[in-house]
Structure 1
């Protein structure tokens, strides 16, 4: 009679590992932390058909796997990722990057990792970038478009920070400037005011963005004044023309 419980126990032990192996969470080991290079859609399926979420620039995800998938008859590297809310989806791997950084001073971007190589562009302070590779005290970065040049794999030597708080401020500054770069009449009033509020909050920070936000707001006041003056001038011309046409 005592042998029956022992046999049952042995059977349970032999079955349990098999259950763990087939568990959907058993192979969800994060291979690396990745960050969105720009506002990036995440999909429910690896063919990238059904939208799941949108990552903000510099937002992090856990990389679970990489695979090649045929999309429109072309092989595309797809990343299986887990978001911070534990939802899982798929994103084009090219839209993800390694650690983000923010440039805290104007920094020369070289073609190769030595000071004698060609300077492709000077990256303005306050710009967000991403680390691609490191060699000694040189870092290969992806930044995007700077003026007429694209900084996608150039090298820099210092001049940046990887501090999370600074990167978040940089993203806030970038979002505000993106809205305020348009004409005031082309933006919804609430979005314009929200962008101004972001800059106002940055002005009270103790980082480089206090000065950048202050300069941007000063330049913006002049820009808006010029736009309003042009509109008044155009309106005045139209009025005079109409009155002239109505004269006997």
Structure 2
């Protein structure tokens, strides 16, 4: 191993005064803490644990003051910072889409246990299901639709499953690899008339005076006979009257034949 690979450059090497600092009441000088930290770094580089460039960076950072950010806080390398919050009115508008949701119950909209974004995500799932109750989706696709992270979508799904609005199942292929999630909506999301029991309960609770769908159609005199609608049925006209109006009845034909006969009997000069 050459000197270039394990020795520090001259600009990084500490001076003699920095290597040792005299302790009070001690005749033998004690190595400074910065010297011990730098020596440990270069020992790791010599053992092959870190690269030469990484050893230079760590050695230069020993004893240096941490840089201050614009807001006055001291920043540390390797510490993740949350992005600055963007004002809501400056966020981009959603993409144009022809997707729409089928009729759904308002139970989730009135559930105070759910966050507003979780309720909006449930409406998007209802729109993806169409006229059915199941849809296949991934958390990444849902994050792109809702402009949220995958972890946030996971929290939405956890809340919806916990309170009984959706049921999840892992979607796998023939080899057993995970392809996404199969989301199934429960009865709390669908409207009451799509369920036989809910529709029967509503009909039982509705008074008979209010539920009379054939009131204006059934004949009050004859039972079981329906009345004709004036909008869909034409007025019954006598066939003889129609023939007379058009000039095609038998009397009109007879008169026409007599007229032709008289015209033939007139002598011609």
Scaled by the length of structure 2, what TM-score is found? 0.17
Higher-Rg structure is 2
Which structure has more strand as a fraction of its residues?
A: 1
Scaled by the length of structure 1, what TM-score is found? 0.18
